[in-house]
A and B are shown apart, each in its own frame.
Chain A
Amino acid sequence: MSGVVTQEAFAWSWAFLRGLVFRVILLLLGACMLAGGIQFARRDAISWVGDWAHYIEAQARRENLLLVDREAVRGMIRSGSHLILDARPAADYQAGHIESALSMPSDDPGAHPEVLSILAPSDALMIYCSGYDCDDSIVLARALRAQDFTNLVLYAGGWAEWSGP
């Protein structure tokens, strides 16, 4: 008797679950069709797949920022031609950073007034952040541009590339 009841309860629960999954799929399908319709209809539509792997480089070019690679950064450190700014959060900087780099988090460039006080607008600055996945270096470069710093270069590979093999 209890076996029959359990079987019946299981069958009912299974039917209920199937109904729920069907309704969820129906809702998601409707939403996806609407999203597709909006995407086709709008004039300012973004592409289906964006080139985010090269987003930082594209932004740097748009901002007329010079991009440098790891070898160039090594040269800058050897020659001391550029001041190096780390645009990542302070905790990341403390966990590890490029040698001789100064911390200037992009979300609060004024957090280290001692760093700002030693900088002059004519100084050559090299900015980096975590790597190709972050745009903190671009954000900081924009903030520094607004304060009349013009000699800026960007290391898009950032800490990930520098600390990697």
Chain B
Amino acid sequence: MWMKRTWNHPAVVWLVRLVLAGVFLTAAVPKILHPGDFALSVFRYQLAPYGVVNLTAIFLPVIELCSALALLTIPRLRDAALCVMAGMLSLFTAAMLLNIWRGIDISCGCFSQDASAGPMGRLNVARNVTLLGFCLWGLFQEWSGIFACRFRERGIEKSDSNNERVNSTITGERQ
């Protein structure tokens, strides 16, 4: 019970949002400032077709930035922002795992575009999986309220219809 209350506490929910938004903002800003370096990072992954490398470097960081800002400032877009973040994290993690499996020793390019940064490894994957967990937990928090409301409504409707049925049975019996 105590655990449940702690995990649902608004302060914890906001803390998770701040961590996610902070990570995405920190990742987005250097990429937006140096698109050429980020394009090189995308090229080094050896996954995107040549024609898509620059487009990825132009659009992806701004999508990261907007998701982070929407998560913090636009309540109606919070679940959409979390979905986009979860999608991006899944994509990044898959790309990392594929390159680790292929034995391509490149730096992650997540926060720094410095090619001399250490090669990515399991720690990067673990960090992404943790963030993905935060996203899914955030989505659960966003949606649990909506679903709870819905089911409460259904419950009320159901109990109302039960009452009606009971009443009609009683009336029928009386008749």
**Residues on A close to B: CB < 8 A?**
5, 12, 16, 20, 23-24, 26-28, 30-32, 34-35, 38-39, 44-53, 55, 89, 91-92, 105, 107, 130, 133-135, 139
B contact face: mostly helix, strand, loop, or mixed: helix
Q: Which residue of A lies closest to B45 (CB)?
A: A133
Give chain B nearest CB distance to A1 CB in angstroms.
Answer: 9
A contact face: mostly helix, strand, loop, or mixed: helix
With contacts A20-B80, A55-B43 taken as known, whether A91 is within 8 angstroms of B103 at the C-beta atoms is yes
8 pairs of residues in contact across A and B, judged by CB atoms under 8 Å: A23-B79, A31-B62, A46-B36, A49-B54, A50-B53, A51-B50, A133-B43, A134-B104
Interface centre among A20, A31, A44, A139 (most CB of B within 10 A): A31
Interface of chain B residues 38 through 71 with chain A (CB within 8 A): 39-40, 43-44, 46, 50-51, 53-55, 57-59, 61-63, 65-67, 70
Give chain A nearest CB distance to B106 CB in angstroms.
Answer: 8
Give chain A nearest CB distance to B169 CB in angstroms.
Answer: 15
Chain A CB within 8 A of B122 CB: no
Q: Choose from B46, B65, B66 the contact partner of A134 (Cβ within 8 Å).
A: B46
